[in-house]
């Protein structure tokens, strides 16, 4: 049997506070975001080294590692 009139359940004080905070929190976050209208400062770091130098160093190190790993060991009779 459906109810003829909707009934109202009063909220406990803790739930009222939680409901109020849940309504106000998004507005506070929006206000904080709107307060940061100025652009962030540009960094003063300007790289002066060419990235090709780093690539060359990496290639040389890679070549050294490959050459050392391919060197035959002194146990030639046990390698096969």
Write the burial class of residue 62 (CB in 10 Å: 0-12 exposed, 13-18 middle, 19+ buried).
Answer: exposed
pLDDT at 28 > cutoff 90? no
Distances (CA, A) of 14 to 9, 19, 25, 45: 14, 9, 16, 51
Whole-structure pTM value = 0.38
Selected residue with higher pLDDT from 73 and 80: 73
Chain mean pLDDT for the chain: 79
CA distance 76 to 80: 8
- pLDDT, mean of residues 39-52: 81
pLDDT value of residue 3: 56
Q: Where does residue 58 fall: left (phi above 0), alpha (psi -120 to 50 degrees), or beta otherwise?
A: alpha
**16 CB neighbour count, 10 Å cutoff:** 11
């Amino acid at each position: 049997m459906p109810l003829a009139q909707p009934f109202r359940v009063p909220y406990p004080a803790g739930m009222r506070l939680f409901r109020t905070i849940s309504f106000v929190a998004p507005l506070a976050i929006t206000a904080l975001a709107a307060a940061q209208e100025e652009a962030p400062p540009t960094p003063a770091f300007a790289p002066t080294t060419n990235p090709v130098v780093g690539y060359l160093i990496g290639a040389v190190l890679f070549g050294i590692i490959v050459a050392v790993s391919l060197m035959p060991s002194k146990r030639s009779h046990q390698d096969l």
